[in-house]
Each structure stands twice: as structure tokens, then as C-alpha cells.
Amino acid sequence: MMEAAFSYFDDLHGLYGEVTATWQDLMTAATRSGLRIVSKPQIRPQQLEPSVAGLIDPKYRWLSASRRAMYVARGEPVDDAIVDFPSYIAATQTQIGGIRWWENERIVTALYRLEPDIQSAAYGLLCGSAHDATKLSKVRWTAYHSVFRGMPLLGFPDLPAWTFENWISALVESPLMGEETDQWTGFTLRQVYDCDPNVPIEKLLERVRDLQIIKPKPFGTLEFRADPAAENPDKMIQLVALRLGQVLLAVQEAELPSALEYREARKRWYRQIAEMDVSEAWRTIDRLRCVLEKRGRKEEKYLESPHNAR
């Protein structure tokens, strides 16, 4: 599996140009080398040889060991068939900055309130039918929850509400990643400091597993992690446009939802994993097109509504 990352852009046009050019370069290089590159949500499950994978990605051993440690912590045998699922299940992750979310936690709360509708729109754009969307969501999230079950920051977090205080409390109770021989792999920050209060915090924070679908990053962006891999640049930019529209809506609607609204949104999101309903996706897409249009940069063209297309 190969991962491609792109720099930040002020609008979707620059990003689309960069993604398209990179895509073409990769396809040309692959053709000349007798290879074929595909971008898809999943490939046939494979067990990677750690010694080989470690040569490609130095963090592989850390991440694999931390996943295995989750089974050990629960007193379960390691499921070798899925423990390394990130090697065959791919995602499209989007980072958006410039909203200074750390000054207003209501923005993150509003993003989570919108997430169920955004998820159904994303799967609707990628899959078309409810059957295909449900099949794909089950593959992705069954693996996540089988491996990471019990983590406080997983998927749509099991919190009373999304607040800074609740987020930090969950981070303290989240396991650390590291190689199997590392002293603290699988331990939580709280457990580490109960054993040794003199451990430098900066050495541990970068190893905390925060797997929520809207993840605050230490350099100020928000990372949206719930979308499957897209098959081409046009589909990729659609997903990014969805997430940009979601942020614009959240900034507009950043009044603090009650804890009940957060919990109800979480229930809806998890119900969709089991049975994805994309019938109303066009309504969400039309709403996002409107907020993108207000930016005055013609970015709404990347979200052609299925409703309008009909």
C-alpha cells in the first residue's frame, strides 16, 4: 500500500490541480515500470512480513505492536487475520486549518453533530447504492472496532459530549503505541504516571492513540478520518469539498448543542455503519454547495448533486 500526502492550499482548485498532476505522474511511472496502481477502499487481506514492512515504513512495527497490545490488554488472543488491517483498508483523510478551533470547542461539537449526514453523503458519492455503501462501511468499521474495541477515542467518541475537558480525559486513558519491547507500549498515560511520575510528558504525547473521526492535530488543523479511499482525483476532491463545506457550516452553527444532541448524533452515525441510508444524500450535498458558493471561489462545482444530475 502507498500513501500520498499533499500540501495545504487556500482553495480547492489548487489542491485539485496538484492531486491530478500527481495522479498522472504516478500512473505514467507505473506503466513504464510494468505495474498497475489502483485506488480503492480495500484490497484482498494480506499478512505483511514485519521485517519487510519495517524497511518501507519505520512506524509499521510501532503501530502493529500497539494493535496487538490491545488484544493482550483485553485478555484475548491476537486475531492475525485483521490485526494489520490498515495494510489493506485505505482512507481519504482531509486536514482543514484556519478556524482556530482551540478557541471555541463549540466548532468541534457542531462538526460532530453534522457528521452522520456528511457520512451518508460521502458514501452516496462513492458508492451510489445503499447496499454497496453498507457493505463498504461494515468492512471498514468492523475491523476498527474488532482491533481497537474499548478505546475511549475511537470513531465517534463515546463521550458525554465533545468538550476539551472530556477530550483530554479520554487522551489520558488512551493506550500508547510503540514496539513490543518498549516499556510503555499499551499502557495509558495515567498508568505510566502512576508507575513513574518523572517520565517526560513530551516523549509520551506523540505516542497516544487518538482514533476519533475528527481529530485535533497539534499544529492546529482538524483531521477528518472517516472517509474511504476514493478511486480517482475527481472523487477525492468531492470528499474534500464535503469536509470543507462541513467546516463552513459548523462555524455558522457553532452554538453549543446539548449533550443529548451529541449522543443522538453518535447513535445515528453507528446505525449507519450497519445500514447505510444514502437516499437523502443529495439534500446534504445541496446544503454544502450553498455554503461553498458563498465563499465566492466557484468551489461548489466539485459537488455535483445527484439530485441536480437527475
Matching residue, cell 476514493: 230
Q: Is the dihedral of CA 4, 89, 223, 58 positive or negative?
A: negative
Over residues 88-97, the mean pLDDT reads 91
Instruction: Give residue-wise pLDDT tens across range 262-300.
Output: 999 999 999 988 899 888 888 999 999 999 999 999 999
Instruction: Give residue-wise pLDDT tens across range 192-228.
Output: 888 888 887 777 777 888 999 999 998 899 999 999 9
Instruction: Give residue-wise pLDDT tens across range 15-61.
Output: 999 999 999 999 999 999 998 888 887 776 666 565 665 555 666 77
Q: Mean pLDDT of all residues in the chain?
A: 87
> What residues are paired with 214 via a beta bridge?
224
> What residues are paired with 203 via a beta bridge?
none
Cβ-based neighbour number of residue 227 at 10 Å: 26
Does residue 5 register a pLDDT over 80?
yes
Least confident of 84-88, 142-146, 250-254, 261-265: 84-88
Over residues 180-184, the mean pLDDT reads 74
95-125 burial: b if 16+ Cβ within 10 Å, else e:
bbeebebeeebbbbbbbbbbbbbbbbbbbbb
Phi then psi for residue 225, to 5 deg, are -120, 5
**Can you give the pLDDT at residue 188?**
87
**Can you give the pLDDT at residue 150?**
87
Prediction pTM value:
0.89
Instruction: Give residue-wise pLDDT tens across range 100-116.
Output: 999 999 999 999 999 99
Instruction: Give residue-wise pLDDT tens across range 148-178.
Output: 988 899 999 999 999 999 999 999 998 887 7
**Can you give the pLDDT at residue 154?**
93
